[in-house]
Chain A
């Protein structure tokens, strides 16, 4: 496939064509990964006594936490500082990048190891560090492959899920791998190569899955162990979190971790859950000497101020991606933004309000509600997608389309005019003769052909039984 298209300068339709126009390898990889993860999610929830009640409770808890964000963030910051860490509140991506860069410069850093962080992708931290002469190395296997290949991640949990073993051999070949397509051999190579980097790193950069206000603890989840490495070996840890990631206490954290592991990877509990409270203590031999937390707004307060603020309840498990019939066909890159799938289609237009191309992302959905059914915290994503479309229409939209809908609304408000609209539908116009907007609509859809007579005609003839 050709290079991953960017959001700016392209339409959703064009990016979908790009994703669907390949040799089918993307779709078969998508099917394998999403079926596997979605099946595991269902089995994981089966272990629990009453998963639906837990899900509804999680929804209420997250909504309540988001409604008291200022209080919870204030407490979190107090406790993190009391434990010896620093806290920086970044209004936007530039403030966050500048702060991270400042820490790196003060430490004279040359190499930063990164464990998976969606926020770091969102603020394009890697590119900025590279400009400053600091190597920012991804250490999650999938993220590393994507970085070596010059591509953004394609899925929250499986950033390189579309790569075949042959692709992996090619990509790892650029850093010295000369073995075969065996996954264990390639993993062992990655372990050796990245282990040296961890030991050489000046800074470890991590994300934050949950931050517990009660104790000032950062909870970071990983299966490979790179988050543990990044928070153990380098002398400085910088943790990046979206401001909505805070929870009040450990009971809430317990519930969300139980749901996160199951919804994301279908495991009863993630392999590694690190709960970090401040930097290393006196006389401890390892752990970072400095712990810096960056709390990011970057458009989230805009979401908080609107009707779609339930989107801030998201715990970034990826379940809605796996369940979505659109994601399952086009994959993450076609969305053109860091956050893909249904949750991405909801939040990207709001986060990227200065990018006009992002507005139409709410159309990357069939509104079937599979995302909502899969969401472990019960976000009504299909309703938020509809809200996104409403907002887009209110903000302008296509003038001809609006006029057409207005005419339709008029016609169907009057019985006589309504009767007339039956006539064109009876005409059985071939798709290729439809006017261009309808032809575009008919692409990928079956144009409905009615039975012989309208309901109204059959009613008049007395053919409709009471």
Chain B
């Protein structure tokens, strides 16, 4: 259907619409949408971030802990999109075109949210979407400056952060891929990574 005709149907429907059913129709919305308020938490952001990551089955580690963590997860081959982290010598570095063969993908986040353990990834020519998605382990570097309280701090500021238009894909990642579809049992690692390691720089 033509766009004009489709929207005209909606205009007509709205112009003839009766009052809402129900005893208490909603008041008009506020001029400014209120922030999603969390219960106050005085602890440092990094500490809350670590706790939230554990809560969703991910881990916050230091640069020094990375080689051991990769060893535990039996990572032999990895692809990297960032020079903020380096791989231990035991791990072979693959080119981006071989991302399907990699055990781990190492990327950098543009922001992270302490309250939820969320890292925010932005697609670009240097940061393909598949690197954080196809390998079974996702290692993500987060700048301390990029750590904010809640997803709302990122979402509500997207217009300001990307004044020239949003990236083709922004992905908010909160822990490993998961499902409870089989018998209600929570299992990590369905289509995306089964382990997420976050390194705070």
Contacts and interface: CB of A to CB of B under 8 A. Distances in A.
Interface of A: 32-33, 36, 47-50, 53-54, 56-57, 59-61, 63-64, 67, 69-70, 73-74, 77, 83, 87, 89-91, 95, 139-142, 145, 158-161, 163-165, 168, 181, 183-184, 186-188, 190-191, 194-195, 198-199, 214-215, 217, 223-226, 228-229, 231-233, 243, 249-255, 257-258, 267-287, 295, 297, 301-302, 304-310, 378, 380, 383-384, 386-387
Contacts of B118: 269
A208 B189 CA distance: 23
Interface of B: 1-3, 6-14, 16-30, 32-40, 52, 56, 96-97, 100, 113, 115-116, 118, 123-125, 128-130, 133, 151-152, 155-156, 158-159, 165-185, 187, 189-192
Contacts of A165: 182-183
Given A47-B39, A383-B21, A229 B10 contact: no
B133 A232 contact: yes
B183 A191 contact: no
B17 A309 contact: yes
Contact of B13 (A141, A257, A305): A305
Given A60-B29, A215-B166, A257 B151 contact: yes
A14 B87 CA distance: 63
B151 to A, nearest CB: 5
B152 A254 contact: yes
Contacts of B171: 228, 272-275
A276 B34 CA distance: 25
Contacts of B184: 32-33, 36, 161
A165 B34 CA distance: 44
A90 B38 CA distance: 40
Contacts of A254: 33, 35-36, 151-152, 155-156
A284 B125 contact: yes
Closest 3 CB pairs of A and B: A225-B192, A49-B37, A305-B13
A65 to B, nearest CB: 9
Contact of A70 (B11, B25, B170, B178): B11
Nearest to B187: A187
Contacts of A69: 10, 14
Contacts of B165: 83, 215, 277
Given A141-B181, A276-B168, A277-B168, A48 B36 contact: yes
